[in-house]
């Protein structure tokens, strides 16, 4: 079964919009785990506009499944991850002012930097993953960085699926097969939702984990967290 890691950034955004501690981020993380999710993902950004750095520290003592911390490996982020030592760190090449992640790493251009950064995390026993586009060259470049996993950036798939073009899955199948051949673990995320997740999972071999936040939270406004998480788990079996 592919594991479901729930990104709770949007819960933090809602909390921050009013100040105070409603909704309680830590309680939500615990409730989501109790409903069956196999991981919690957070993506703290330098301006702390949703997940705050202190949230990451607090969640370390609460999350009982797997804690995945995403972010651009600037010095502040690296220091935070080494302090917390989550189950997994996912490196994303975000610009400081990016609204959301919008591209994978060029693993050839930034290979040396990624290799040095990944080595630091792996020396502390933290599983590493890097965000990449479904490009064979980028997958092969990822091998040279020493990363444990890659996370396929799935926005292009989601757009093609929404338009009715199922051929949009093809680059992802090819990238996934190459990753498996190279012994790289496979994660995926970005714009996956209840409509497109099952087809993606059925077509992608050896998919270990998906990270879903915006769609899952939005769907839960209509159907409730417990119901939506159960639906995702059913589709990922």
Residues assigned a catalytic role? 43, 70, 190
How many alpha carbons lie under 13 Å from residue 93 in its C-beta half-sphere? 16
Instruction: Answer whether 193's CB lies under 8 Å from 158's CB.
Output: yes
Print burial letters for 119-149: b (CB count within 10 Å at least 16), e (below 16). eebeeeebbbbbbbbbbeebbbbbbebebbb
Give the residue from 48, 18, 51, 49 showing the smallest Cα distance to 40. Answer: 51
Q: What is the DSSP string of 187-213?
A: EEESS--TTTHHHHHHHSTTEEEEEE-
Whether the bond between 26 and the residue before it is cis, its omega within 30 degrees of 0, is no
Alpha-carbon distance of 155 to 237, in angstroms, equals 22
CA dihedral over 73, 77, 79, 83, signed as positive or negative: negative
Alpha-carbon distance of 101 to 99, in angstroms, equals 7
């Amino acid at each position: 079964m592919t594991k479901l890691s729930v990104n709770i950034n949007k819960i933090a955004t809602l909390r921050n919009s009013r100040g105070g501690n409603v909704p309680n981020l830590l309680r939500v993380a615990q409730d989501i785990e109790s409903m069956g999710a196999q991981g919690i993902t957070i993506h703290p950004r330098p301006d702390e506009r949703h997940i705050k750095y202190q949230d990451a520290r607090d969640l370390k003592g609460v999350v009982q499944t797997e804690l995945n911390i995403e972010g651009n490996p600037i010095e502040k982020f690296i220091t935070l991850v080494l302090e917390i030592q989550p189950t997994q760190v996912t490196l994303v090449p975000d610009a400081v002012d990016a609204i959301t992640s919008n591209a994978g790493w060029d693993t050839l251009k930034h290979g040396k930097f990624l290799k040095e950064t990944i080595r630091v995390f792996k020396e502390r026993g933290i599983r590493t993953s890097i965000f990449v586009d479904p490009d064979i060259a980028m997958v092969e470049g990822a091998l040279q960085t020493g990363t444990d996993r890659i996370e396929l950036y799935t926005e292009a798939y989601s757009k093609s699926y929404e338009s009715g073009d199922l051929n949009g899955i093809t680059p992802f199948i090819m990238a996934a097969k190459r990753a498996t051949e190279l012994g790289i673990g496979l994660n995926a995320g970005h714009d996956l939702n209840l409509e497109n997740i099952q087809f993606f999972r059925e077509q992608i071999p050896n998919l270990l984990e998906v990270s879903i936040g915006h769609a899952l939270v939005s769907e839960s406004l209509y159907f409730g967290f417990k119901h939506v998480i159960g639906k995702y788990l059913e589709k990922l079996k």
